[in-house]
Amino acid sequence: MENQSSKKVNFFIVGAPKSGTTFIQKHLNKHPNLFLPEEEPVYMSTDLNDLCNYKSLESYLNLFGDNLKDGNNIICGEKSTNYLYSNTAHKEIFKYNQKAKIIICLRNPIYACFSYHNHNKVMGFEIINDFSEAWNSQHLRISSNYKIPLWANNQKLRYQYKNIYNYNTHVLKYLNTFGKENVKIIFFEDIKNNKDKVFFELFKFLNVKNFLITDYKIENFIPKINVDNSLKNKIYLYKVFFLKKNSVRKFSKIIKTILRIKSFSFLRKYTQPSSIKLHEVVSKNKDLDENIKNLLLHEFRESIQDLSKTLNQNFNHWLN
């Protein structure tokens, strides 16, 4: 292994998805003593990293480069939003660094959940355009591969929308594993309305000097889209994602060894279409359909009330 440093990745932004994590990541990176890679490594979620680019600890640590070397004053962290709902990530992080600091961003689950369904469509994982159908298919998708693309058969947790936003369960496992003093919870409303305070508290939590950020920029806005489920698009996405699967990577490594080549990049011009439209924008309106809102209010009410007890904080504004 190239990286023989005693330094470790110190902090982890673990989620929740669509709750301001990209904004936090980008702006923490402005601090001269902090480094976070742009990419989500998803290395620690062993139950959700079948398609990730980092399959070994060595490749994961190389992502941080010289920032992990001894002798510098850089504190390294990373953001992978599926760590929150992964069944293994909190254990793997603790096994790697028992002193790790955890940052959790929480947004009203009613809006975050709906937004995440749209995000899944944009990322090529969700082929059910209608949110209500996707919601009602959750149990079926656990027991079978119902409307799950072939490349995502090992990503079934990604489609369990209720579980992903069952905050209390996930917050408790991080509090119980790392201790209250090592878990910082940030709320989406504060990111929107009181950015300076949020980052002042984060810098204090990470034990770095305060740093004034003067150029806040909105990150990761995605309009509502519908997926184009045409055969051409399915074939394209199959090629993009299927080649990332662990089993396929192992096989391709054998083939490259036999053929004595470093990569299959020379095939791109034969496999990548000159133009492809994977989806179409159907709305830039952020308003939530009243029927869906009422459904999610009912489904998340108990979890929100449990979170209120766990954090000793009132979340009635999420239930209005």
What percent of the chain has pLDDT above 90? 69
Q: Is the dihedral of CA 189, 195, 201, 206 positive or negative?
A: positive
The pLDDT of residue 158 is: 95
Report for 62-66, 147-151, 249-253, 271-275: range of highest mean pLDDT? 62-66
Does residue 137 form part of some domain?
Answer: yes
Instruction: Give phi and psi for 33, each to the nearest 5.
Output: -110, 10
The pLDDT of residue 276 is: 44
**What contacts 296, CB < 8 A, 6 or more positions away?**
109, 110, 113, 114
The pLDDT of residue 220 is: 64
Asked if 16 and 107 count as a contact pair (C-beta separation under 8 A), the reply is yes
CATH code (residue 192): 3.40.50.300
Region of poorest pLDDT, from 204-213, 214-223, 256-265: 256-265
Residue 218 reports pLDDT greater than 70: yes
Q: Pick from 9, 17, 31: which is nearest to 204 by CA?
A: 31
Asked if 75 and 64 count as a contact pair (C-beta separation under 8 A), the reply is no
Strands 183-187 and 224-227: unpaired
Q: Pick from 94, 19, 82, 91: which is nearest to 52 by CA?
A: 82
Instruction: Check whether residue 198 and residue 61 sit in a common domain.
Output: yes
pTM recorded for the entire structure: 0.85
Instruction: Check whether residue 76 and residue 222 sit in a common domain.
Output: yes
What does the pLDDT average to over 62-81?
A: 95
Region of poorest pLDDT, from 27-36, 255-264, 280-289: 255-264
What percent of the chain has pLDDT above 70? 78
Instruction: Check whether residue 74 and residue 20 sit in a common domain.
Output: yes
What does the pLDDT average to over 31-41?
A: 96
The pLDDT of residue 272 is: 47
Domain with 93 in it: 11-226+279-314
What does the pLDDT average to over 17-30?
A: 96
Instruction: Check whether residue 154 and residue 239 sit in a common domain.
Output: no
Instruction: Check whether residue 242 and residue 308 sit in a common domain.
Output: no
Instruction: Check whether residue 258 and residue 292 sit in a common domain.
Output: no
Instruction: Check whether residue 97 and residue 222 sit in a common domain.
Output: yes
Domain count, the chain: 2
Does residue 3 form part of some domain?
Answer: no
